[in-house]
Structure 1
């Protein structure tokens, strides 16, 4: 089972509308995702992966992004935590070896 928002079979259309609200300074989506993770508390440590120096620099710049309470609330309303379920990766049990 793939991770999805319940009742939609995929990303909620409303979430895409919030990306514009969250990108007033043309931040990259990855920066916003990392900034959101950093805003979740001191016990959450994002570990992004990348192959390119440019992306590493973008990821590091996420530490300088501060989301407002309004932006965090907009994200919480767009994708409530209890509306997402499923495995992150598909089962590997059916892969031919």
Structure 2
């Protein structure tokens, strides 16, 4: 199969808006978890008045991050929400799981 054998149907050129939102929400939550964890546990004194708030924030947003992960997995399992690149050549059966 050559690239010219690929059907001329319009292929998406970008990931869906929802997929991009899930990606950036995940990225921001991971960054937040790192920053709040470093500040709350390593840079702040245990008796600092802000520390309990940082611990609660870290925990709450960690639960939200877990929910976003579950949502991303469910989103990925429902086909058609992301770019499906055509696979041509010998790697086609391998990519499709033989």
TM-score, normalising length from structure 1? 0.29
Structure number having the greater strand percentage = 1
Query: Rg: which structure is higher?
Result: 2
The structure with the greater share of residues assigned to helix is 2
